[in-house]
A and B are shown apart, each in its own frame.
Chain A
Amino acid sequence: MMVRIFTTLMALMMTATLSLAQQGPLRIEITEGVIEPLPFATPDFVAENGSSTEMGTELARVVAADLQNTGLFREIPARAYISNVTDFGSAIQYPDWKAINAQALVTGAVNVSGNSLTVKFRLYDIFSGAELGNGLQFQGTTEGWRRMAHKVSDAVYSRITGEGGYFDSRVVFVSEMGPKNKRQKRLAVMDYDGAGVKYLTDSRSLVLAPRFSPTGDRVLYTSYETGFPRIYVLDVGSVQHRVLESGEGSISFAPRFSPNGQTVVYSQATGSNTDIYTMDISSGRSTRLTSAPSIETAPSYSPDGNSIVFESDRSGAQQLYIMSANGGEAKRISFGQGRYGTPVWSPRGDLVAFTKQSKGRFHIGVMRIDGSEERLLTASFLDEGPTWSPNGRVIMFHRETQGAGGRSTLYSVDITGRNLRPVRTPEGGSDPSWSPLQK
């Protein structure tokens, strides 16, 4: 029965992938609506022991939104329900749910005691007439109620697709205000779905490209606080920040953490030449990894920490290369028409996401780490800066619109190229970086 829903979904994913592959690179169109998402129902979670029914409703709404927004699921509206779930423990009326074609049913219960919140859920495969996996219970604070809804969604998603979830995660990004020639930027962090935005810096200094640490507790970014681009590290909890790299007579930018969080890889420009360096965070000792007179920048570690993918214009135009994490000879992996930049290694290790410029358009794309099977997922006037969801299935990036009124917005897209959707933020957004799943 798990097999059944799972197989259907896999078939859907395969179809999407194949239809993209058939069109070949550069002509990828988002095939929204081509597949039929799996219908599910999420009745309001039952409020137990006199807890507020409002919380039960809100929790179910967040779970439904998480699942629906993947594009793999379609929620059946409550007005279609024949029976409802008023007692978390009582038997499910399978025929009633089957009659409205719900293939999956998520039931839940909520228990509030002071500041403490307990959320239980069960997942049912309606057509097999059985529970899928065991019921689970999460405990937290009422303040963190959205996280518990995301944890339920992660468990449901994981059981049905066989893949890790990504809903209980955060995104750090640059919040943007004002016209292009007076753009104000500040760092912000939010839940993956745009909820709970908090600002980490003010807009007095230009800030760029924040990157989460592997545990999500620190953020690396570039700031013009001193008038020159320098790399800073910020503690997300305390919002304390300090300069990490302050080489006089040079500028530094494009930092990212190594997978163990102890090393930063970044770019430094001395004279006209930009190269890639690493720095051991605790000792502050830096090592130069490249020395060509060309531009080497936008480095990103492989998940095992052994390799670095980066961009270089050593061939005459921006292309992607992979080298050892200790430097040395690099192997070019991008060979298509156009320019390739901002490579980011996927958390699974198998793919590299990138920004591609070709014929006046920008694309977000993915390719295997040997450069094969390039797929372009998006196309617009300016798409840039991909970041991976913790499970490697979804990419977030930013899209800037054309002209004097140009504005930057965060978007997400499935790695099949399906389900392109804006991520709502209070102001404009750019340079997203997705955290790992929270513990």
Chain B
Amino acid sequence: MKLTTKVILMMGTLSLAACTNAGKLGGGAGDGAFDPNAAGNSGVIAGSASDPASTAYFQEAVGDRVTFEVDQSSLSAVGRATLDGQATWLLTNADYTAIIEGHADEQGTREYNIALGNRRADAARSYLVSKGVPSSRMQIVSYGKERPIEICSKEACYAKNRRAVTVLAGGLTG
């Protein structure tokens, strides 16, 4: 588990170092799915993860998501720290707006999971508002259990699927 994480991080670093293409800017990930190649498509200069004002930087360095316990929508200490970083970033990069997507794992009925995902997205939004990010810059949406990023039926996957992802939109073009 730990080892896998390290490998993924290393791969991420490599692809960041290798990327040369101009990146898309301002487009949100849409479904909040983690795309390890996203950073690889970004330019070295503006828009790459090395550019602190880029979407890629927000996703990779700041961290675009927080996770939740089973059937819970309260933020963990780690989650609050991630959101602190998001708040700082959003206040620095004031021309971005965000859609916060709430998600649930597959252990639950469809309607309830939409309501639960909505609670999670709102928990993240409320925290960001409390840190000074104007609520007018954020919208929330819930996908319930419709958009898992991990597909095994084990807690290791469920833990990653119970998430709120801050998806950026707008922003400067480089």
Contacts and interface: CB of A to CB of B under 8 A. Distances in A.
Same complex for A and B? Answer yes
Given A272-B122, A297-B115, A385-B109, A229 B149 contact: no
Contacts of B112: 295, 297-298, 311, 313, 318, 341
Contacts of A402: 153
Interface stretch (B6-14, B15-23, B140-148): B140-148
Nearest to A249: B139
B99 to A, nearest CB: 8
B148 to A, nearest CB: 5
A403 interface: yes
A404 B118 contact: no
Contacts of A404: 151-153
A262 B53 CA distance: 51
A382 B106 contact: yes
Interface string A386-404: 0000000000000010111
A208 interface: yes
Interface footprint category on B: 20 to 34
A379 to B, nearest CB: 15
A213 interface: no
Contact of A384 (B33, B109, B151): B109
Interface in B88-114: 99, 106-112, 114
A181 B116 contact: no
A208 B143 CA distance: 11
Interface in B43-98: 71, 73
Given A179-B151, A251-B118, A272 B126 contact: yes
A50 interface: no
B29 interface: no
B163 interface: no
Interface in A334-384: 341-342, 355, 357, 381-382, 384
B142 A229 contact: yes
Interface residues of A, number: 41
A298 B109 contact: yes
A206 B146 contact: yes
B153 A272 contact: no
Nearest to A384: B109
A382 B139 CA distance: 31
Nearest to B106: A382
Interface string B115-143: 11011001100100000000000011111
B126 to A, nearest CB: 7
Contact of A385 (B99, B110, B118): B110
Contact of B152 (A298, A382, A403, A431): A403
A274 B115 contact: yes
A183 interface: yes
Contacts of A253: 111, 114
Nearest to B121: A272
A75 B24 CA distance: 64
B110 A208 contact: yes
A375 to B, nearest CB: 19
A50 to B, nearest CB: 53
Contacts of B116: 295
A271 interface: yes
Contacts of A381: 153
Contacts of B151: 179-181, 403-404, 406
B155 to A, nearest CB: 11
Contact of B142 (A254, A269, A317, A341): A269
Interface in A397-418: 400, 402-404, 406
16 contacts: A181-B150, A206-B143, A208-B146, A209-B111, A251-B118, A272-B126, A297-B114, A297-B115, A341-B108, A341-B109, A342-B111, A381-B153, A384-B110, A404-B151, A404-B152, A406-B151
User: Which 5 pairs show the lowest CB-CB distances between chains A and B?
Assistant: A272-B122, A341-B109, A274-B115, A295-B115, A180-B151
Given A269-B114, A404-B152, 19 more contacts: A181-B147, A181-B151, A183-B146, A206-B143, A208-B110, A209-B111, A251-B141, A251-B142, A267-B111, A269-B115, A274-B114, A311-B111, A318-B112, A341-B108, A341-B112, A357-B109, A385-B110, A404-B151, A406-B151
